[in-house]
Each structure stands twice: as C-alpha cells, then as structure tokens.
Structure 1
Amino acid sequence: MFFTKIILATLLLSAAIAFEQKCFFPEPARDFDAYKLRGTTWYTGLQTNDAVASDIKCERAGNFTETSTGFQTDFRTFKKSNEHIDWVAHFTFLRSAVYQESKVKDDFSMTNAYTFDENGKYNSAADSIVENVLLERDFAFISDYLNYWMGILCSAEGQWIVWIYFQTKSPSLTNIAAAYNELQRLGVSTQLYASQCEKAH
C-alpha cells in the first residue's frame, strides 16, 4: 500500500515536471518555527536522487530543540535496514526560514553519516555534497507542522537537493499532496524518489 502511494506521488511529480530545471534558492513565504515540531518524529519519504540520499535507506528526525542561535535536532541515519548512525544537527538562523548547518559542530558527524555507503566504502560524490553543499549552502526549511517537514538546498552547480520528511514511514496521499503543492508554490522543479523507510527498523 505504501509503495503504491509513493509510486503514485512520484508519477504525479514526474507528470507535472517535464524536465528538471537548474535550481534557484527559494525564499519561503513564512517563517519556520522549530518549536512547533517539539514532540514529533519525522521520516524521509521523498528526496532527490543526490549522492547522499542514494546511500541512505531512511532518516529519522526528532527531539527538535531551540537554541540561542537557531535549533538542533537528533537524526538517526539508516545505512542498512537494521543498522544506523545517531547524530545531532545544529542549524544557525540566518533569516526567515533560512538556516545554515554548523560546520564546526557537524562536519565530523555528517561525514560519518553520509560519506560511506552501506558496505563502508567511501563515496567521494557524497563527500563533495557534504563539504560543498550541506555544510556551505543555505537551507530553506518549510513545514505545515502536520503533513510534511522539508529541507531544500541549491548547489553552486544548480543541483536541487530536496529531502521531504513525514510523521510516519507510510505517509498518506494527503501528506504527499500537501508537500507537492508547497514545492509547486515555491517553484521547485526536480524529480523526487521514494525512500526505503518502511524497511528500516
């Protein structure tokens, strides 16, 4: 059932997007309030086929905490269905709904979580995204606090990096449609793929 829903959502996105356009950084119309995500847990459901996402089965985010500079959240990154890496991400507020990852605090953790595949083999393309995009570029965080929470980045080369999280490993069509509609409103044009969260424990 979940697989069918994700396939339907992916087909919907594919039909609406004739070709992938070079990205631009979206300016969210409303602020992001991490406080509203306290007590909730989110799982990747859809993401771009970037080198980092392709090596991850699933990612879980929770324990959202406001800090003096922005917010932090706990991540559990699944490399295989039953193997994971736990780490904490720290985000610094820049302007409304726009943040930057802390290079000082998160470099080692992100490298550990994202630059090795499920067999422990180093992935240079993923490492390049970590060092040149995730730790350097601005994140736009958007959420309706019910259906989706998403992070959107735009690399210097014009590549979209979009990860959409849902409050369940099996999001409903309502959840997926809400996220899709927000991407359309923002003008984000990229192919999205289903995660494998339903296989992660």
Structure 2
Amino acid sequence: MFILKRGRYILLLMLVQSFEFIQTKQCNIPEDNEDIDWDNFPEAWYEVLHTFDPVMDKDVFGAKVHNFTKTSTGVNLIVTELHKNFPPQTFVVHDTRKKAGIYRLAQNDEPALEASQTLTPEGGRSGNAAKIDDALFSGDLLISSDEENYIIYAFCSYADEWVVWVFFPSMNPTIQQLTLMWNKLMEKGINVQLYLSESVKHSENFMGFNR
C-alpha cells in the first residue's frame, strides 16, 4: 500500500517549484526524437506532474498507464484515471507510430478517453477539457522515455500551448528521476511550469492505486 509521507511531499513540491523556466510561446513538436523499445517497457507508470491544463486541473485527479503491448503499427496500453466522486475510469489507447517518438491516437479511442477526461467532480462535462482531447486526437503526440525513469507525453493545444503529462514508475520519483525528466524536456525545447497531480498531493484518497 502506498502512503506518501508529509515530508516527502513537501520535498517533491519544493523541488518541482525550484526549477527555473521560461514559458515557451510557441508549441512545436521536435523533429529529432528517440524510439522506445516497448518490448522491455516497465509494466506501469503513475502520473506525478502535469501542466495544469483543463483536463488535469480538476477533472482528472490521477492516472496510471499500464499493460504496454507492442504492435505492428505502434503500441497499445491501458489507462486508468481517478476521479474525485466517481469510480476509476479504465480504457484502452492505441498509439500509431508515425516516426521515432511521434505517435497518433486512434480515432476510435476518442469516445472512451473523452468520457473520462471531460468528467467533472460535479458529474457534468468540461467543454475546455474536450477541446484539449480534440487537439490530442487531431495532432501529433510526442512520447519520450528512457524506458526506466520517466515517460513524457507532450502535444500542442489549439491555443498553441504545450500540454505535458509526466509519469514515473511510482508516485514517489527520486531526485535523479525528476532531474533526468527535466533535462529531457529542456533538450526537446519544452519549457513549461509543471504541477503535482492531486493523487500525489492527497494520496490518502488513492490507497491501493500505486500497485
């Protein structure tokens, strides 16, 4: 069972906030990227950081991506998302590889993904979150990972702003893992402010999620 100690959370928060950044004014998916060996990919990753976009600011409180399966066209995976007042939402995502590090999501995955990511704590639907999902399905998705310490999902919103979701092998990433992730963002020219997932800040609400 996962229990995030108070001191550990404070340290993580201070570390995230300590990174200096210059907000990128234009969102451009880099051309030169690395391939990922999905055959040797870890079983599960947990969302720890995000750009506080309309999907992650209140609609989704935590996410787990798991069961990665390499296919002839790319990779399939299962996504489990946590919500405040509703049971976890689980759906399958099919990512089609365009070239190294660049993927497109299958259009038939959109209804299930949007049904989860636009769900609000009050039981309604977020139009702003739907716009983010529409941009995700309409453009390229950058997936960057060293296959051990972090996995970064990054794409451009319709407002030409970066949307970044960062996952780690646990909800307690080490300083080394955070530094490696941040260095990769800088290498890709992705300069954004990142925020802690609610599942990290309020781990008492998500017991048993990190297993």
Deviation of 1:182 after TM superposition, in Å, equals 0.7
Residue 71 (structure 2) aligned to one of 60, 63, 67: 67
Normalising by structure 1, we get a TM-score of 0.91
In structure 2, the residue matched to 1:186 is 188
Q: Report the Cα distance in structure 2 between the residues aligned to 1:191 and 1:112, rounded to whole angstroms.
A: 27
Unaligned stretches of 5+ in structure 1? Answer: none
Partner of 1:109: 112
Structure-2 change in CA distance of 1:111 and 1:156 (3 Å)? closer
In structure 2, give the amino acid aligned to 1:84. P
The residue type equivalent to 2:83 in the other structure is K
Shift of 1:30: 1.5
SS of 1:109's equivalent in the other structure is: helix
The 8 Å contact of residues 42 and 62 in structure 1, kept in 2 or not, is answered as: yes
Q: Which residue of 2 aligns with 1:173?
A: 175
Instruction: Pick from 73, 83, 87 the counterpart of residue 87 of structure 2.
Output: 83
Q: Indicate which of 9, 16, 36 corresponds to 1:10.
A: 16
Aligned partners of 1:21 and 1:97: how far apart in 2? 22
1:161-198 CA-to-partner distances (Å, cap 9, x unmatched) read: 10000010111111111101111111111111001224
Tell me how far apart the structure 1 counterparts of residues 90 and 33 of structure 2 sit (CA, whole Å).
32
Q: In the alignment, which residue of structure 1 is the partner of 2:50?
A: 47
Partner of 2:159: 157
Unpaired segments ≥5 residues, structure 2: 1-6
Cα distance, 1:140 vs. partner? 0.8
Measured in 2, the distance between the counterparts of 1:24 and 1:110 equals: 24
CA contact (8 A) 1:17 1:190 kept: yes
Distance 2:114 2:165 in 1: 18
TM-superposed deviation, 1:27? 2.9
- Aligned equivalent of 2:146: 144
- Over 3 Å counting, the alpha-carbon distance change for 1:82 and 1:197 in structure 2 is farther
Kindly report the root-mean-square deviation, in angstroms, between the aligned alpha carbons of the 2 structures.
1.7
Structure 2 Cα separation of the partners of residues 138 and 9 of structure 1: 30
Residues 57, 81 of structure 1: 8 Å contact kept? no
Q: Is 19-28 or 187-196 further displaced after alignment? A: 19-28
Aligned mates of 2:31, 2:48 — CA distance in 1:
23
Which range is displaced more, 155-164 or 28-37? 28-37
Counterparts in 2 of 1:18 and 1:69: CA distance versus 1, 3 Å: closer
Q: Measure, in 2, the Cα distance between the counterparts of 1:128 and 1:158.
A: 12
Tell me how far apart the structure 1 counterparts of residues 179 and 156 of structure 2 sit (CA, whole Å).
Answer: 22
Residue 53 of structure 2 aligns to a residue whose secondary structure is: coil
Q: Percent identity?
A: 25
Partner residue in 2 for 1:118: 121
What number of residue pairs does the alignment pair up? 196
Q: 2:151, 2:167 within 8 Å by CA — same for their partners in 1?
A: yes
Distance 1:56 1:156 in 2: 20
